[in-house]
Structure 1
Amino acid sequence: MNLTQAKQLADQLLTNLNTPASSAFGRQAKLRVPIGVSNRHVHLSREDMDILFGQGTELTRLRAVKQPGQFAAKEMVTIKGPKGEIQKVRVLGPLRKETQIEISVGDNYVLGIQAPICMSGELANAESLEIIGPQGSVKKDRCAIVAWRHIHMSPDLALQYDIKDEQKVSVAVSGNRGGVLDNVIVRVSPAFVLEMHIDVEEANALGLANDALVTVMSN
């Protein structure tokens, strides 16, 4: 069993442990998903890494995140828009083919832009920003988005719950500030472990923190 498979198994065991025993009789338990709260961050291309931090430099791993192979780096940058700037924005690794900046709706007002709400990698209508690093700066067209809330899921789990890649589901949140989140996009890949990504604003509105469990409603 490799590391990815072990993490997927651990996620499913966590789901099962939090499922009422009565659900085992005649009806499949509802899928419960751990939350991952995403603060504003930057993904860099090799070209922009060289400009911002120096030719040939590499990201310095600070801590792993739940999705296999991804990590928070020690490196941070400043992002600057027409109206203002935000300092100490974390870079996430590994390096990507294209630079992408993920912010919150509130950050739009600070920066003076209108970044669209869309899935990661959908940069056709993304906003432009300047990125400032310790060794240089770069002005990037079509780089800034507000990430659409989404669930990462393995193919085996998707098959078990009859969920398709890019399907939209609704998610129920319990607690004093609980509610229902509609239009949650599911992304299915063998590289994923079970986790729902929402931004800080959504998490605060519903009283959610990392690893809190939410329930996928009937789809």
Structure 2
Amino acid sequence: MNNEAIVNAVVAQILEQLKGQPTAAGEERSVKVGVSARHLHLCREHMDILFGAGSELTPMKELMGGQFAAKETVTIIGLKLRPIENVRVLGPLRSQTQVEVSATDCIRLGVKAPVRLSGDLKGSAPIVIVGPKGAVSLKEGCIVAKRHIHMSPEDAAAFGVHDKQVVSVQAPGARGGLLEEVPVRVDKSFTTEMHIDTDEANGLGIANGSKLPVIV
């Protein structure tokens, strides 16, 4: 075997060994961005009040983790009594009703919704939900969704991150900037994707489906 063949063989062996190894600290990998508009999740009790006893959500579009966008929509109302109509319900039903809005929505509604991860509802803002069959007044349950990244275990290993780890994401361009304190949520049901709301996307010039580098 000549010298060139030996070098090629060594390089091939090294590349094979590197496959699947975690990302080194500071190295960048890209993640797809999903821009999330205002929406809500309902519990069984509130589903019955808003849409009728025994009613079921009608799946319209499949989402990650067994979730789906339903055909059903509602109207939400805050202290300013300026309603926002056609707010999409996501399924399946949950144990607790949760409304996710943007900071701009909060101004229109007159609510002070905290920035929270999904499910962290204690002490969150009150909101009224109106459906075709009735209305629900929540003492808490309205939040501004905190930006986050969903990852499969395989992708988390490739990125060199773990569940609940916090990373940064760089948005390039004239209106871009560094998105800091982005928690990673790892589950086998997830498709790897970063979720931000419409305010963050518009402010940083990020289009739905963009790929942005993650800084570990």
**Secondary structure at the residue paired with 1:68?**
helix
Letter in 2 for 1:63: K
Q: TM-score, normalised by structure 2?
A: 0.85
d(CA) in 2 for partners of 1:102 and 1:56? 24
Deviations 1:128-176 (A, max 9, x none): 1110000000111211000000000112221232212111111011233
**Secondary structure at the residue paired with 2:65?**
coil
Q: CA RMSD, aligned part only?
A: 1.9
User: What's 2:168 paired with?
Assistant: 170
Deviations 1:45-73 (A, max 9, x none): 011000000011111111123x1311111
Deviations 1:97-123 (A, max 9, x none): 110000001111111110000100000
Greater CA drift, 158-167 or 115-124: 158-167
User: What's 1:13 paired with?
Assistant: none
User: What's 1:77 paired with?
Assistant: 74
User: What's 1:15 paired with?
Assistant: none
Query: Which of structures 1 and 2 has the bigger CA Rg?
Result: 2
- Which ranges in structure 1 are unaligned for 5 or more consecutive residues? 1-23
d(CA) in 2 for partners of 1:141 and 1:155? 36
Runs of 4+ in 1 over 6 A off after TM superposition: none
- Which ranges in structure 2 are unaligned for 5 or more consecutive residues? 1-18
d(CA) in 2 for partners of 1:118 and 1:131? 20
d(CA) in 2 for partners of 1:119 and 1:27? 26
**What is the aligned length?**
194
- Which of 47, 65, 68 does residue 68 from structure 1 map onto? 65
Identity %: 50
Letter in 1 for 2:66: G
Letter in 1 for 2:35: V
**Secondary structure at the residue paired with 1:192?**
coil
Distance of aligned partners of 1:152 and 1:27 in 2 relative to their CA distance in 1, 3 Å threshold: closer
**Secondary structure at the residue paired with 1:176?**
coil
Q: CA deviation at 1:180?
A: 1.1
User: What's 2:184 paired with?
Assistant: 186
Letter in 2 for 1:79: I
- Which of 63, 70, 89 does residue 87 from structure 2 map onto? 89
